[in-house]
Structure 1
């Protein structure tokens, strides 16, 4: 089936918007390619924040080319990585007309152009044949491996039986020598190769240096060698895409996701340091460092999707038989989170398993129930109120955004409240002034408190 032709009006609208952004700030970047009929063929863009983030955190780049969810069936390819706080960061986005080698080479070269030809140390991809070939051409000296989430999906599709799948997973995860891998591989093939999986196994063997721990365990991938969810950082940009989405809609969607990721990163960096005293934050930081040693292998919801109970099964990667159960129920001030390790009950601080479940649920703030008052800094009542309202507001806004009428009602209420509040301030002659000396360093354990003073006019 031929790909639908891109509407010229949509393409012109997107290109005009990207040109306007570059005129406003020359550090914004976009580049595009037209086909023989002068229609948009390939497009890449990156704003100034994305480019700056790359120069700080672009040593490992993840990109997934398998999502074709828009009305033109064009692959949407976000380039993402991890910040120094191990939170997702966006380096740019691309749209390509097809999954050919030429399109991928164009995309990767354009990405390099946006970052002043600074190649990443390592890249993680979905492992498609054309992608693998393009990486060899454009990033010949970079480490390359296939995202373990995609490997896992292929295992589920092509291998049958728990024992067979686990034996193959051991080839993915066990850091043996290349010689030992070869011996184990041929033993696996002798037992489990069938007419149905022969072609896939031959293809995987040809790409063994891109997924087997025997070849990739000692290379620099920021500890993502076995972390399926961390490697799929781009999934949050793919969430919300649909087959009827236009190019302007896709641009707006990417903008909204990028802003959300940056906002969550800022909030997440500040949350723990501002909640806890320095001594308790030091202990909590040790738990945060251990998150990557665990992963959520199963998450189940019971009752109402927002107000019901959620149970996460968390596994220790090095000993996958060691399981922990994290149970979350309620919301806001009534929220309760428990882990089977009982660390929270014993020591009053959230454990690495709870933090792992939070990350799985895309939560960037320490829940109120996991920050006992005796562990917190004293006197920051405003921050405690703000934290509680942010948690409640997040749930309200998520629900209201799904219904046009509820969205309108909530929006009008908030606008009316702000108008009334501003009218009171104007009537009293008071002006809200923010202390310009307020720090914004998330790495510090000193609380960052914006002090608002009312000065009589």
Structure 2
């Protein structure tokens, strides 16, 4: 009995299943390069081929030479699944049907309703071409450009093996692809593009568990569930039920988030780079300034869809309460995922990561150490308003001829994500960079090494967390059992001593001692609000001393102090400038 006739619209070169040992049927056919006397011959009705593969190999060579791509438009199968009829048509066949969601912003389309195609039947064990349409209603391309059509792309076994091996040892995607380009003698000699390679890596990357890793994870999750009902874990598998991503959080992390969940950092680089562990921790600092874990994941890739999955898993675990602020590095995939899952969360880039790139990106500039680096730092750290920053930025860009520098232009376009003056209105708990995440990752240094397997990591994970809990318990005891003496006669310092933990009170005392370096001047007084200029002497890393002017506003009626440095708003510590104002000394 004949099977149903279906319209598949299948692109002959689709990378839907790019596992390292699996290729599409068409790719197999292309690679065979079987000898055929009809090479270059135009298809005609009545042509016969011994097998479907021979038919496909002939036609694919023909269309590639003619400069167009193809798709399988229709197939008909017998009851046993064997194909007995097929139509292979131009990839530009069919009509474009816009969806209701994109009528105002239509997507590009290749569809022109082209009728070029061939039909073939299986007749007495041979494939016979029955219908041939040669003409196109659009222009074709040169044979050299045919490689851009999906039907002519082929990620061969050698390339798959090299890409996967290089990816496993941590070679970045762009360098990995670049090595193949050089090996092939140029882009034109590759049968695939960088986008196809990235798709292959994204889908071929599975969570590389190693021997015993899967069992270790399962046993760990079972053990934690028995010990604590508050333990939560989520597992993500692919279409073939292979483990792809994992997330978990214990009861302590979930409880801590209720108190310390306003701002978090998220970083995937440290253990991944150092140990090959795709570890993705959610981190916050507690009232002692210690890093605490608010959940963790093991991920197989770092693309937007993976981060979206992980963020949703974490958010659901935390009772759908999104953080008010989050700090990450400049990862585009993270940025896109945060916009999807945390649309109302203030997102900040790690300033430390950006500043670390200065030498790499601008070190070759003749004036880098002769004024340029200092000018950039002054614009970032000394600007009190957004307008002041933009003025200073524009000045050094013009002075040092950097108008065409793409890296700086990209940073400027995203200035609201990383420039301190744009972030002053948000509480960051003293976490200006993802170094907090790195300190959490560094906490595992005593428990993992370069050769650590996932099984060993899981076994050591509990030990590391128990040590972290012990450090917090010790800090709690010390703060309740020990007192750090006040360093001044100000009553306000005595009040701080009673409400801050010892670690945070030390930060307060640094500001109290910093008052010595400040010079306060009353600028104006209007009604109950006094305005002061406070000059602060700051010593830079190279022992250079510079004076920075801050403005402090004191509301006498509401007993409210506000400084343009915004240290209190961002870190919860009253700054030396606010402590210094003469108008409020009676209060202190």
Range of TM-score over shorter length? 0.5 to 0.7
Equivalent pair of 1:69/1:245 in contact (CA under 8 Å): no
Change (3 A) 1:270 1:292: same
Tell me the alpha carbon deviations over residues 400-422 of structure 1, each in whole angstroms, 9 at most, x when there is no partner. xxxxxxxxxxxxxxxxxxxxxxx
Tell me the alpha carbon deviations over residues 370-393 of structure 1, each in whole angstroms, 9 at most, x when there is no partner. xxxxxxxxxxxxxxxxxxxxxxxx
Aligned counterpart in structure 2 of residue 291 of structure 1, from 476, 496, 507: 507
Kindly indicate whether residue 467 of structure 2 is the aligned counterpart of residue 260 of structure 1: yes
| 1:87 aligned partner | 290
| 1:157 aligned partner | 360
Kindly indicate whether residue 346 of structure 2 is the aligned counterpart of residue 143 of structure 1: yes
Q: Distance in 2 between matches of 1:220 and 1:80?
A: 15
Change (3 A) 1:266 1:323: farther
| 2:268 aligned partner | 65
Kindly indicate whether residue 322 of structure 2 is the aligned counterpart of residue 116 of structure 1: no
* Structure with the higher helix share, 1 or 2: 1
Shift of 1:277: 8.6
Alignment map for 1:188-227 (pairs within 5 Å)? 188-192=396-400, 198-225=405-432
Secondary structure of 2:270's counterpart equals coil
- Higher RCO structure, 1 or 2 (CA under 8 Å, sep 6+): 1
- Structure 1, unaligned runs of 5 or more: 296-317, 326-457
Change (3 A) 1:257 1:176: same
Shift of 1:204: 1.4
Q: Distance in 1 between matches of 2:301 and 2:330?
A: 16
Secondary structure of 2:458's counterpart equals helix
Kindly indicate whether residue 387 of structure 2 is the aligned counterpart of residue 184 of structure 1: no
| 1:453 aligned partner | none
Secondary structure of 2:357's counterpart equals helix
How many residues get paired?
A: 301
Equivalent pair of 2:231/2:249 in contact (CA under 8 Å): yes
Shift of 1:123: 0.6
Shift of 1:199: 3.0
Change (3 A) 1:63 1:284: same
Tell me the alpha carbon deviations over residues 190-249 of structure 1, each in whole angstroms, 9 at most, x when there is no partner. 234659x92321321232111112211121212334x67556443434535444321122
Kindly indicate whether residue 386 of structure 2 is the aligned counterpart of residue 168 of structure 1: no
| 1:321 aligned partner | 539
Alignment map for 1:26-425 (pairs within 5 Å)? 26-67=229-270, 69=272, 73=276, 75-160=278-363, 161-162=368-369, 163-192=371-400, 198-225=405-432, 229-230=435-436, 232-237=438-443, 239-240=445-446, 241-276=448-483, 285=497, 288-291=504-507, 319-321=537-539
| 2:104 aligned partner | none
- Structure 2, unaligned runs of 5 or more: 1-162, 169-207, 488-492, 512-535, 544-588
Change (3 A) 1:125 1:232: same
Equivalent pair of 2:234/2:246 in contact (CA under 8 Å): yes
TM (normalized to structure 1)?
Answer: 0.58
Equivalent pair of 1:44/1:95 in contact (CA under 8 Å): yes
Tell me the alpha carbon deviations over residues 145-174 of structure 1, each in whole angstroms, 9 at most, x when there is no partner. 112221232224323334322322233323
When Rg is computed on C-alpha atoms for both structures, the one with the higher figure is: 2
| 1:451 aligned partner | none
